[in-house]
Amino acid sequence: MQIIKSVRTLVFLLLPIVSFSQSSYLPLGSKDYKLLDRLEIKTGNSNLNYSTIKPYNRRLVTAEVEAIDSMDAAGDSASFNLTKIDKYNIQSFLMNNSEWSKPRESYNSKKPIFNTFYKTKGNLYEVNTKDFFLAVNPAIQYQQMFEKGNSQKLFYNSRGLSFRGMISRKVAFDFYLTDNQERDPLYVQEWIRTHAAVPGARFYKDFKAIGGVDYFDGRGSVSFNASKYIDIQFGYDKNFIGDGYRSLFLSDFSGNALFLKINTRIWKFNYENLFMELIPDGRRVMGDELLARKYFRMNYLSINATKWLNVGIFDAVMFGRKDHFDFQYLNPVLFLRSAESDIGSKDNAVVGLNVKANIKKKVQVYGQLLLDEFKLNEMVKNRGFWANKFGYQVGVKYPDAFGIPNLDLQLESNRVRPFTYSHFDSLSDYTHFHQPFAHPLGANFQERIAIVKYQPVHNLYLQAKFIYYYQGLDLFGINYGSNIFTSYTTRDKNYGYYVGDGDKVKSLNTSFLASYEVKENLFIDANLQHRTYKVASGADSPTTVFSLGFRWNMSRREFDF
């Protein structure tokens, strides 16, 4: 908990004498993200252009959705081309964020249980008064999986509770805790054995038969305003920077982490500072043994250059210090690369550029460029210099594709060169709890993604997803730069590294999902997945899995790697 001591003084300096309205955040994976994507593109709402930074502040996004709904009710939204499904989803969104939306009779249940539970359709238990808001909900998910050629009983079983609230609209809080047991498809079991970690989780125990794991997933935060334009959130959760399905900057793939976030939004600028305490080693310890710590510090400046163009500048550093956060990195306006040089460190600093353009309220084009380390003259010579470590993303989102209402298409390409994200020790590599901190594949890969989403009626959600990639793995003990947990000092040469070099693997992960919403936030899911995995030096490893289950107030557990 060293980061708490390190940032405590900064927090106290920012504490306000008078607080403004504060809000909790939309959990990552919520169905609302799909709606907000569509509204951002179709309405040209410039305030939704800040959606690169996730999770979203409920107060801010609800205000924009409420404004769109009011314009539609007044007949001023013809240019938005909202479909009937859009309008239905808007009402669902506003109901699920009732602390910030206008009261509506349609939110209320006709037959509350014991006149106490489900008074409103969106929450099991809700209190909504002038000075206090509280929403309490169960968090439950169960999936039964059947894998071709695997006699094991595969399942995912999660039970827990979530709640969020506000006190006098000045302090907001949220909490989420689930107890989870799962036995996943064989390729996921192999990933867990290799990394000594469960994707997206932290400490875990073995559960019953071989391949089963047991772990808690606990998240929570407290938020308040330092001023009208500055929000502060302190918590234990996940964060995401980007507009794509993947992020090359910061993703939610690894486990939860302790963080302090300061977000400043004024005029055309949205500036976020993020301080995090991470764990470099995911090994499971017995008894009272304190794991080592490392730290992450990020600045992200998002600028609405025009109503349709958003540009973001990313600047981060991953570092380790014995028993303390480095106070050099506490300056919220500091360019971290210069600070790294000033203190003579060899920390892992990265910079990046994020661009998003909404074209004629029909299509969104987005992309990222990540620079870990590079030499311009070596890039020009194109000799495969090992230290030219960078990656890029290019993508497009197309709502109501080809004129078909409620059909959304997303295409994305991600490419990361060998040795990107890696460093000379585990305290500075771009990882957390022995899991990649950005893209789940690590480095030395080319990936292409196609996602088709269709909501033909109010309660039915259909999705087809295709993820293809090739990657160069290590071969005969030679480091080809894909394993970001391995020190780059173990390479055997300085030149001749190109994407895909090494033991080349090709994989295609295809899935088809049908989700039916029985009642608000209660889904029945059926999914068919087929994954091929062909390694140049070995045999093919195909996977076919069918799963059937339900979830209540939870996003679906998936393994897209």
Residue 288 CB neighbour total at 10 angstroms: 5
Residues 247, 439 contacting (CB under 8 angstroms):
yes
**What is the per-residue pLDDT across 512-539, written as a single tens digit (0 to 9) for each?**
999 999 999 999 999 999 999 999 998 8
Higher pLDDT, 325 or 150: 150
Structural tokens at position 372:
């870990």
Q: What mean pLDDT, rounded, does the chain reach?
A: 91
Domain-embedded: residue 557: no
Residues 354, 312 contacting (CB under 8 angstroms):
yes
Percent of the chain with pLDDT over 70: 93
Would you state the pLDDT for residue 20? 65
CA distance 397 to 362: 9
Q: Give the pairing of strands 389-398 and 407-416.
A: antiparallel
Structural tokens at position 123:
């929450």
Indicate the pLDDT class of residue 321, thresholds 50, 70 and 90. Answer: confident
With helix as H, strand as E and coil as C, how does 249-282 read?
Answer: CECCCCCCEEEEEEEEEECCEEEEEEEEEECCCC
Q: Name the DSSP letter for residue 17.
A: S
- What is the pLDDT averaged over residues 38-61? 93
CA distance 174 to 134: 10
Would you state the pLDDT for residue 285? 53
Domain-embedded: residue 372: yes
- What is the pLDDT averaged over residues 429-435? 94
**Chain position carrying tokens 């480091």:** 479
**Could you give the angle at which helices 58-73 and 32-43 cross, rounded to 10 degrees?**
60
- The residue among 264, 295, 260, 294 whose CA lies nearest residue 274 is 260
6 pLDDT above the threshold of 60: no
Would you state the pLDDT for residue 1? 47
Amino acid at 300: Y
Cβ neighbours for 477, distance < 8 A, ≥ 6 positions apart: none
416 pLDDT above the threshold of 60: yes
Amino acid at 273: N
Would you state the pLDDT for residue 236? 98
Domain-embedded: residue 118: yes
My answer on whether omega of the bond before 138 falls inside 30° of 0, hence cis, is no
- What is the pLDDT averaged over residues 439-465? 98
Would you state the pLDDT for residue 378? 86
Indicate the pLDDT class of residue 9, thresholds 50, 70 and 90. Answer: very low
Q: Which of 160-164, 211-215, 315-319, 389-393 has the lowest mean pLDDT?
A: 315-319
CA angle 350, 327, 239 (to 5 degrees): 50
With helix as H, strand as E and coil as C, how does 445-497 read?
Answer: EEEEEEEEEEEEECCEEEEEEEEEEEEEECECCECCCCCCCCCHHHCCCCCCC
CA distance 347 to 338: 11
- For the chain, the farthest-separated pair of C-alpha atoms sits apart, in whole angstroms, at 74
**What is the per-residue pLDDT across 170-195, written as a single tens digit (0 to 9) for each?**
999 999 999 999 999 999 999 999 99
- The residue among 258, 256, 339, 299 whose CA lies nearest residue 8 is 258
* Global pTM exceeds 0.85: yes
The domain tally of the chain equals: 1
Indicate the pLDDT class of residue 540, thresholds 50, 70 and 90. Answer: confident
- What is the pLDDT averaged over residues 450-470? 98
Query: Which secondary-structure segment (H or E) carries 65?
Result: helix 58-73
280 pLDDT above the threshold of 90: no
Would you state the pLDDT for residue 17? 40
- What is the pLDDT averaged over residues 208-225? 95
Domain-embedded: residue 561: no
The boundaries of the domain holding residue 271 are: 2-552
- What is the pLDDT averaged over residues 147-167? 97
DSSP string, 159-170: EEEEEEEEETTT
Q: Name the DSSP letter for residue 113.
A: B
262 pLDDT above the threshold of 90: yes
- Give phi and psi for 228, each to the nearest 5: -60, -30
Domain-embedded: residue 320: yes
557, 31, 516, 185 alpha-carbon torsion, rounded to 10°? -10
DSSP string, 389-410: EEEEEEEEEETTGGG-TTEEEE
Would you state the pLDDT for residue 221? 97
7 pLDDT above the threshold of 70: no
CA distance 319 to 342: 15
Q: Which of 288-292, 395-399, 508-512 has the lowest mean pLDDT?
A: 288-292
CA distance 393 to 389: 14
Domain-embedded: residue 559: no
419 Rama class: left (phi>0) / alpha (psi -120 to 50) / beta: left
Domain-embedded: residue 560: no
CA distance 384 to 494: 8
Task: Return the sign of the alpha-carbon dihedral for residues 104, 107, 113, 117.
Answer: negative
Residues 367, 352 contacting (CB under 8 angstroms):
no
Residues 400, 83 contacting (CB under 8 angstroms):
yes
- Give phi and psi for 400, each to the nearest 5: 50, 50
Indicate the pLDDT class of residue 282, thresholds 50, 70 and 90. Answer: low
Residues 231, 25 contacting (CB under 8 angstroms):
no
**What is the per-residue pLDDT across 78-105, written as a single tens digit (0 to 9) for each?**
889 999 999 999 999 999 999 999 999 9
Residues 422, 443 contacting (CB under 8 angstroms):
yes
Would you state the pLDDT for residue 10? 44
- What is the pLDDT averaged over residues 334-340? 61
Structural tokens at position 350:
């990265």
Q: Name the DSSP letter for residue 15.
A: -
Indicate the pLDDT class of residue 363, thresholds 50, 70 and 90. Answer: very high
Domain-embedded: residue 127: yes
Amino acid at 453: K
Which of 166-170, 400-404, 536-540 has maximum average pLDDT?
400-404
Would you state the pLDDT for residue 8? 47
340 pLDDT above the threshold of 90: no
CATH code at position 105: 2.40.160.10
Cβ neighbours for 67, distance < 8 A, ≥ 6 positions apart: none
CA angle 350, 265, 318 (to 5 degrees): 20
- What is the pLDDT averaged over residues 546-556? 97
181 beta partners: 157, 214
